[in-house]
Structure 1
Amino acid sequence: MRQANGDVRVGGPVNNRDVAEAHNYHAATKHSYWSVRLGGHFLDWANKPHPHKVYQGLPVVPLPCDVTPPTMAALEAVAAFPSMGTSIRNLAELAQVLFFCGGLTKKKVYPGGEAQYFRAASCTGGLYEIEIYAVCGDLPGLSAGVYHFCPADFALRRLRAGDLRGELARATADEESISDAPVILVLTAIFWRNAWKYQARAYRHFYWDAGTILANLLATAAATQLASRIVAGFIDTRVDRLLGLDSEREGSLCLVPIGAHSPAAEPSEVLPIAPETVPLSKREVDYPLITQIRAASMLLSEEEVRVWRSGFAPSPPPPINRKCFPLNTIKRDALPNRTLGEVIIRRGSTRQFAQLPISFRQLSTILERSSRGIPADFLGGSGTTLLDTYLVVNSVENLPTGAFYYSPSEQALELLKEGTFRRKAGYLCLEQGLGIEASVIIFFLADLDRILERYGNRGYGAAQLEAGIVGGKIYLCAYALGLGATGTTFYDDDVTEFFSPHAAGKAALFAVAIGHSARVPGRVKLLAPGAR
């Protein structure tokens, strides 16, 4: 891989506790008014990476195409906490989970005939750098093994035969949910597929894009009463080796056990494999900042894994000292009954908003439902969060325009400053019209010093992952309410400054804009599983 200029670290290897690495990465990948103008990056369309990882010569297991859509109301599924449930029973149930978190759901044909395929969860730039692998014991219709999921033909390809779940149990220091699950999904990121457009900042996007997939996955598991949990603490080299990854190009991000009550066998020896794949593009450009921060975030032993996930003590929320607006959610019997399956299939990323107001009840419902907590090894339980949530309100009925802080514990919005900030919101969102047009822009910030002190460099990815998951939940809630949503990038330090002094010292992580979608040219065709 050819190296990009300027991304060079001087010195020897670092470990997870050398948190200067995460601070340096975050600072080096900030957007600013001048960085976007002086960066000099251009998109080499002739060298754009292929959107699918294609293995050659591996056994193929077609997934059942008669997938049953989850029928639970989307707003109920998003708000559920699927840490308890039943076991996954067969290949059809696995196909359901895979389709509604990572399958091809839409085909859009633009004027002129160009077609673009969209997946169940949103992704930065539509580049889809997240891959999904399944490690399972014997299931009806699927023998034990390690498999790669390909959305293009809706099929699994077998990388290894045999029950190797015990290797993941060992890699996670016998994490109970891993040891007991019939299927463990592993989400990875292919570095170049996203860095082609976003350069070294792509490392942030790996976690955002994995997060939106996980939001769909957790909701699908809840809707089908499957136990699920996100495990972000593991020995990276063991997981990468099991999947046969080239760790300079692709890395494991998190594990998700699906189901329960199926103890794993004792792990056998895992020999190296190097399955052949079709090249992504003619050439790849290496951004060492990505491989450096990943290497500095790795956990190297079972003891290090245990210490990493031993618990997070959140700081008490800051007191509300200003004008406060308690949430006013839509009453349960008046909530839209759009099912989770319908919402996921129809969900997209809004390209243009109509500049119409949404109701305070809609905003309240989105905030309340998306912030009930995430079952993850780096979060203490329901309601625990690494994030601080801020909003720019452009147009919400019964709410003044201005800047707000959302307190989940108080279930209230605190007015930080009142005023009309549409143009400012557009500037903060990298001078994009979405910030001007949207009814609300939700920004997730975090106290990186506190997070890195507790978790080391790996905490940086964990915070980005949580932001992506909550952002994905907001997507689903917005579409369930008949609204639109889209993730957006931002000018990092300008976001912090705008919400200060309340946000002083915090780092901007992710942003989501919501509002009424405006129609844009193009014909969209909904796709059934396996259809093109």
Structure 2
Amino acid sequence: MPRDSVTMAALSTDRRARKEGGGMVSILSGLRRWLMQEQRSGGRTGRSEGAGSRSARGALSGPDDEWPEDNRDTQAARHYHDGTKHPYGSLMDAGHFFDPATQPLLFKRYIGLESIPLPLDKSPLGVPALEAIASGPAPTGEPRIPDIGTLARLLSFSAGITRRIRYPEPVGEIAFRAAACTGALYHIELYVVCGDLPGLEAGVYHFDPEALALRRLRAGDERGVLVAATAHEPSVAQAPAILVYTDVFWRNAVKYQAREYRHAFWDSGTILANTLAMASAHEMPAKVAAGFVDTAVNRLPGLDTHREFALELVPIGYAPGTPPEPAPEVAPLELKTVPIARYEGDEPAIRAMHAASSLTDEEQVAAWRSSLPPRPMPVPSGRLFPLAPDPVEEMPQEPLESVILRRGSARQFSHGSISFRQLSTILDRALRGVPADFLDPGGTLNQVYLIVNAVDGLPPGTYVFHRDRQAFELLQEGHFRAAAGTLGLHQKLAYDASVNLFFLSDLKPILERFGNRGYRVAQLDASISAGRVYLAAEAQGPGATGLTFFDDAVTEFFSPHARSKSVMFLIALGKRPRRHGR
């Protein structure tokens, strides 16, 4: 991949110095020089000319250009990815300022709809978190029908409120949820489409975490609409209940602008990690379905697609037989909701990217749905460190429910070390592949790169994780804590962390195979895995937090190994500082 000249020049000093043993000084000076040139040029020079290049494509250059609407025209994904890079992506306003006083309402409130309380039992089932995140139930052919109590647990431990904390004005009270979310802006909504379940009549429902209740939007069994929309995906066709995950994008875009569309998949992914783990604990089959006719799914719960659109489906359970055929046309819904803000803005790039990655009919969905052929990993040339996880019988046995209820994004790390066994157990449990319609069992669209600062039993340095070998390959030994802080957008958490995990994807073959929608699933694959990392870390003691990053600088830092790859997600792990008096 031809590399950007500025980034390359900024970091080439580092590569020479690594050979000479002076990597720490040079990486910092290189990154600082690159960032200063970016600031002077307004970001015009810091563009990668690989998978995300506008200069290589030449078709799109600004936020107001006409975007392609065909999923196969991957200029859209390339333009969006480049335009939302840090720093100074062309779709971002460098002078943007978020005023917490303008924060939108973080709950979707329907007007005039009856509330159906959910009977939530928070008692643990006894399934350890480290077991639940690593596996799903083996298919038995026996019916697995969730009742309303099981549904309540799935919804609440995925996206329910776990704690409320009051901050000084203008922030006020924040109702924190079960899964991590960028900026605690909670822009992901959940809906239920089901047949008759024990304790719940067939219908289309919205999950209200504020009231811990469902609100019925449609009566009757409408699962057939989703079966048709997914081109008869078997897991959907045989599911007694299907969860629909949507994005109310202005809640997050008010702070993060056009980059919100990345966050839509980051934040739905961490929720999905919880959903899949809870389904596993209940021995309920569950699978992520990312391929569907977008307009059909959006129409079923009556979404205003200028503000909200569907991202993923998750069929829950197994019921032999097929649901009713869908009606020839789904009637529109005229339901009123409370406005989320006095002034609700717009980010045209978000809607344009979503439209460009949409599928329009069943034939497109059927053609889209297949896994990416596995690409062989390069043969390791560096020293290998095989994973050394805890034996299963020695792993912490804390139940999944208590881990979810306690989990929170770390706000501070000490410089203390975590153990190699802890890190090994986290990756062993979290990176076993996502059950999804775009992956083979155990497959992935991402590769994990690491900056190790303080892991007992693992030399500090940079690494790549080989899933096929279950081992870390040492790329460069050395102390890169300051570089980690710089790459992590100058955030102290990235600097203080014991280890930073970067999920990188080679977007070129992904977009060639899946079209623009490949961008959605590359982000999603990384975020679900990172959501599992959150849970696995919490189950063992280390803290975890998701962070943002300087896109091209990360790729250059890990090159030549990471050449042509793009960063999808960054999660930092570390030791929490001791509390006073403990």
TM-score, normalising length from structure 1? 0.94
Measured in 2, the distance between the counterparts of 1:245 and 1:65 equals 27
1:468 aligns with 2:527: yes
Q: Within 5 Å, which residues of 2 pair with 1:266-305?
A: 266-268=325-327, 269-305=329-365
Match of 1:525 in 2: none
Match of 1:22 in 2: 77
- Contact 1:69–1:96 (CA under 8 A) maintained in structure 2: no
Match of 1:442 in 2: 501
- Secondary structure of the residue aligned to 1:285 is coil
Which residues of 2 match residues 167-316 of structure 1 at below 5 A? 167-262=225-320, 263-268=322-327, 269-316=329-376
Q: How does 1:327-406 map to 2 (within 5 A)?
A: 327-381=387-441, 383-406=442-465
What is the identity, as a one-letter code, of the residue corresponding to 2:290? A
Name the aligned partner's letter for residue 75 of structure 1.
L
- Relative to structure 1, the CA distance from residue 506 to residue 131 in structure 2 (aligned partners, 3 Å threshold; closer, same or farther) is same
Cα distance in 1 for partners of 2:278, 2:301 equals 25
**Is the partner of 2:300 in helix, strand or coil?**
helix
Whole-angstrom CA distance in 1 between matches of 2:432 and 2:567: 21
Query: After alignment, is 74-83 or 94-103 more displaced?
Result: 74-83
Which residue is 1:3 aligned to? Answer: none
5+ long unaligned stretches in structure 1? 1-5, 522-532
Query: Residues 185 and 7 from structure 1, CA distance in 2 versus in 1: closer, same or farther, beyond 3 angstroms?
Result: farther
Query: 2:204–2:301: 8 Å Cα contact kept in structure 1?
Result: yes
Alignment match, 2:148: 91
Change beyond 3 A, Cα 1:184–1:502: same
Shift in alpha-carbon separation, 1:327–1:409, aligned structure 2, 3 A? same
The offset of 1:140, in angstroms, is 1.8
- Compared with structure 1, are the counterparts of its residues 52 and 38 closer, same or farther at alpha carbon in structure 2 (3 Å cutoff)? closer
CA contact (8 A) 1:7 1:288 kept: no
AA paired with 1:407?
H
Which residue in 1 is equivalent to 2:46?
Answer: none
Which residue in the other structure is 2:56 paired with?
none
**Once structures 1 and 2 are overlaid, which stretch shifts more, 493-502 or 302-311?**
302-311
| Unaligned 5+ runs, structure 2 | 1-60
Counterpart contact for 1:72–1:339, Cα < 8 Å: yes
2:512 equivalent in structure 1: 453
Give the distance between the partners of 1:515 and 1:353, measured in 2 at CA. 6
- Structure 1 residue 64 corresponds to structure 2 residue 119: yes
Quote the Cα distance in structure 1 between the aligned partners of 2:282 and 2:151: 11
In structure 2, C-alpha distance between the alignment counterparts of 1:218 and 1:225, rounded to whole Å = 10
Deviates more, 1:33-42 or 1:402-411: 33-42
Alpha-carbon separation, structure 2, partners of 1:306 and 1:347: 38
**1:27 to 1:198, Cα distance in 2 relative to 1, 3 A:** same
1:59-91 C-alpha deviation (Å, 9 max, x unpaired)? 221101334434201001111134736523311
Cα distance in 1 for residues equivalent to 2:551 and 2:233: 36
User: Matched residues in 2 for 1:227 and 1:484: separation?
Assistant: 29
Deviations 1:190-211 (A, max 9, x none): 0101101100000000000000
Secondary structure of 2:258's match? helix
**Rounded Cα–Cα distance in structure 2 between residues aligned with 1:37 and 1:12:** 16
What is the CA–CA distance in structure 2 between the aligned matches of 1:111 and 1:10, rounded to whole Å?
42
Deviating more after overlay: 27-36 vs 263-272: 27-36
Distance (Å, rounded) in 1 between the aligned partners of 2:340 and 2:578: 33
For 1:319 and 1:465, locate their aligned partners in 2 and report how far apart those are by CA, in whole Å: 27
Change (3 A) 1:12 1:101: closer
Q: Which has the higher contact order (CA 8 A, sep 6+)?
A: 1
Aligned equivalents of 2:521 and 2:91: distance in 1?
Answer: 26
Instruction: Give aligned-pair identity as a percent.
Output: 52
2:137, 2:280 within 8 Å by CA — same for their partners in 1?
A: yes
The answer to whether the aligner puts 1:423 opposite 2:482 as a matched pair is yes
> Which runs of structure 2 are paired with 1:38-57 in the superposition (5 Å)?
39-57=94-112
Q: After TM superposition, give the deviation of residue 442 of structure 1 in Å.
A: 0.2
What is the identity, as a one-letter code, of the residue corresponding to 1:71? G
Q: Does 1:8 align with 2:68?
A: no
Query: 1:74·1:340 contact (CA, 8 Å) conserved in 2?
Result: yes
Aligned position for 1:116 = 174
1:319 to 352, 367, 379: 379
Going from structure 1 to structure 2, the CA distance change for 1:13 and 1:396 (only over 3 Å counts) comes to closer
Instruction: Return the alpha-carbon distance in structure 2 between the equivalents of residues 134 and 288 of structure 1.
Output: 28
Instruction: Confirm whether residue 484 of structure 1 aligns to residue 520 of structure 2.
Output: no
Q: Aligned partners of 1:15, 1:33: CA distance in 2, in Å?
A: 27
Q: 1:126 aligns with which of 184, 201, 204?
A: 184
| Residue 275 (structure 1) shift | 1.1
Task: Say which is worse superposed, 29-38 or 63-72, in terms of deviation.
Answer: 29-38
Paired residues, what number?
515
Larger radius of gyration: 2
Aligned to 1:155: 213
Which residue number corresponds to residue 526 of structure 1? none
Structure 1 contact 324–415 (Cα < 8 Å) conserved: yes
CA distance in 1, matches of 2:431, 2:511: 22
CA RMSD of aligned residues (A): 1.9
Residue 505 of structure 2 contacts residue 522 of structure 2 at CA under 8 Å; is this kept in 1?
A: yes
Name the residue aligned to 1:77. 132
Q: Shift of the alpha carbon at 1:36?
A: 12
